[in-house]
Amino acid sequence: MPNTVWPSVHARRMRLTKVDSCGVPVTGAANKSMLVTKGIVKVSITSEIEDGEETLKKNGSGEICVNYKDPNQVKYLSAEIEFCGVDPEAWSMITGQPLVVDADGNAIGVKISSKPIEANFALEVWTDIPGGSCASGFQPFGYFLLPFIGSGTIGDLELSVSAAEFTLSAQTKPGTGWGAGPYAVQRDEDGDAGLLLDPMTADDPALFIQVDVPPPAPTEGAVMLTPFVPTP
């Protein structure tokens, strides 16, 4: 099996998807649960590791007789998203904070509430692969998925003569119900766009792969999620 090494530059596109308390994407006409934007500066992802417990025992002569360390484990991944500006519906989707609308019903901002943060979402980011081979007939992209995230908060804001920075942070949660996902992101052996070929399990907080299905077009704010249905 060949090993595919691919570089990654830019943060071309980001998709946010509301998920329920079990990490399952929210669908239905009553929900605006999907948003695609290119209005991001960068997305930073860091791992929080739980160090394995060490057991060390010495005998009466001071010599080590037991020396063992349990494996380390990933507790969660932290995602930090820097936006180009205030994106009310994206911010509300990430943090669960209530939207503020104008007289025409347009989303113009968010309120900051002290209530518990209960919003859950999935994060997908597409990057460019410079010099990537189109041998398959399709342009390759980097694809980064965090399928179950919560505890979204707005970072420090500094308003001054310089351009303001708007950063939101969140953490992955265990037990995702994302599975193969609701979107076409990979091609099968026939070259047809379809769902993830290797579905996410409850123990998978993240996925980083090369894909050759192009990123989706930006949406006008949050819209209804229409799941992809493969052609029989």
What does the pLDDT look like over 212-221, one tens digit per residue? Answer: 999 999 999 9
Q: Are 174 and 203 in contact (CB under 8 A)?
A: yes
Number of domains composing the chain = 1
Region 8-27: what's the mean pLDDT? 95
Average pLDDT, the chain: 92
So what's the pLDDT on residue 165?
85
In-domain check, residue 181: yes
Residue 149 pLDDT greater than 90, yes or no:
yes
Determine, yes or no, domain membership for 17: yes
What pLDDT is recorded for position 2? 78
Phi/psi at 122 (5° precision): -110, 150
* Per-residue confidence (pLDDT) for residue 160, from 0 to 100: 84
User: What's the pLDDT score for residue 18?
Assistant: 97
Q: Is residue 167 part of a domain?
A: yes
What 3-state DSSP class applies to 75? Answer: strand
**pLDDT score for 11:** 92
> Is residue 56 assigned to a domain?
yes
Q: Residue 62 falls within a domain, yes or no?
A: yes
Task: List, for residues 151-202, the tens digit of each pLDDT value.
Answer: 899 988 888 888 888 999 999 999 999 999 999 999 998 899 999 999 999 9
Q: Is the pLDDT of residue 231 over 80?
A: no
Q: Given this model, what pLDDT does residue 1 score?
A: 60
Per-position DSSP letters for 1-35, written without gaps between them: --------EEEEEEEEEEB-TTSPBP-STT---EE
Kindly indicate the confidence band of residue 46, based on its pLDDT and cuts at 50, 70 and 90. very high
> Cβ-count burial of 210 within 10 angstroms (0-12 exposed, 13-18 middle, 19+ buried)?
middle
Q: Select the more confidently predicted residue: 230 or 171.
A: 171
Instruction: Give the tens place of pLDDT for each residue, 95-116.
Output: 999 999 999 999 999 999 888 8
Answer yes or no: are the C-beta atoms of 10 and 213 closer than 8 Å: no
Question: In this structure, is residue 33 part of a structural domain?
Answer: yes
Q: What pLDDT is attached to residue 106?
A: 93
| Domain of 18, in residue numbers | 9-211
User: Is residue 79, in this structure, part of any structural domain at all?
Assistant: yes
Instruction: Answer whether residue 1 is part of any domain.
Output: no
